[in-house]
């Protein structure tokens, strides 16, 4: 791997990590205050679990998107990366909707759209580079869980 490829790889890994760090501003605005007052379902995980899970998922996203970027330039690759960036944007918005605006209902609508976009992204990624699609499966599973958690919090409150 040459220096340019290493820099590109690091850049692709940093994009979702930086988006996650930026979204954490919204989370930190109310995770220790408003969020603590909400009724939560029995399957609500401990708070310490979120940072390592999200860090791992963001790194996998970055690796996966780099693999797509490294594939032959084509309309399929461009569309796959467009869908990838769309899901990153929806992912980013979720924290702001849920924690900053304190709106589990709006966040639930967002996360349902996010799920659909993730499914489209995985299909497109898999069609270009199988490993790239497979690397997104943990993210899909976490978002499925997060959707159930979001829906439960919205329902209970």
For 22-70, the pLDDT digits (tens) are: 999 999 999 999 999 999 999 999 999 999 999 999 999 999 999 999 9
Give 73-136 as a DSSP string: P-HHHHHHHHHHHHHHHHHHHHHIIIIIS--HHHHHHHHHHHHHHHHHHHHHHHHH-HHHHHTT
- Residue 156's pLDDT band (cuts 50, 70, 90): very high
- The pLDDT tens digits for 95-107 are 999 999 999 999 9
81-86: Cβ within 8 A, 24+ apart: 83/117, 83/120, 83/121, 83/124, 84/121, 84/125, 86/117
pLDDT tens digits for range 57-87: 999 999 999 999 999 999 999 999 999 999 9
Architecture of domain 3-156: Up-down Bundle (1.20)
- Please state the separation of Cα 8 from the chain's center in Å: 20
């Amino acid at each position: 791997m040459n220096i340019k490829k290493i820099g590109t790889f690091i850049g692709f890994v940093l994009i979702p990590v930086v988006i996650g760090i930026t979204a954490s501003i919204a989370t930190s605005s109310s995770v220790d205050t408003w969020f603590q007052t909400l009724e939560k379902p029995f399957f609500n995980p401990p708070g310490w679990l979120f940072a390592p899970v999200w860090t791992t998922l963001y790194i996998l996203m970055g690796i996966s998107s780099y693999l797509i970027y490294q594939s032959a330039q084509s309309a399929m690759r461009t569309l796959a990366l467009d869908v990838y960036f769309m899901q990153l944007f929806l992912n980013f918005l979720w924290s702001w909707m849920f924690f900053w605006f304190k709106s589990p209902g709006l966040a639930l609508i967002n996360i349902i759209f996010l799920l659909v976009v993730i499914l489209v992204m995985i299909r497109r990624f898999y069609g270009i580079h199988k490993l790239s699609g497979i690397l997104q499966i943990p993210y899909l599973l976490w978002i499925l869980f997060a959707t159930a958690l979001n829906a439960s919090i919205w329902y209970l409150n």
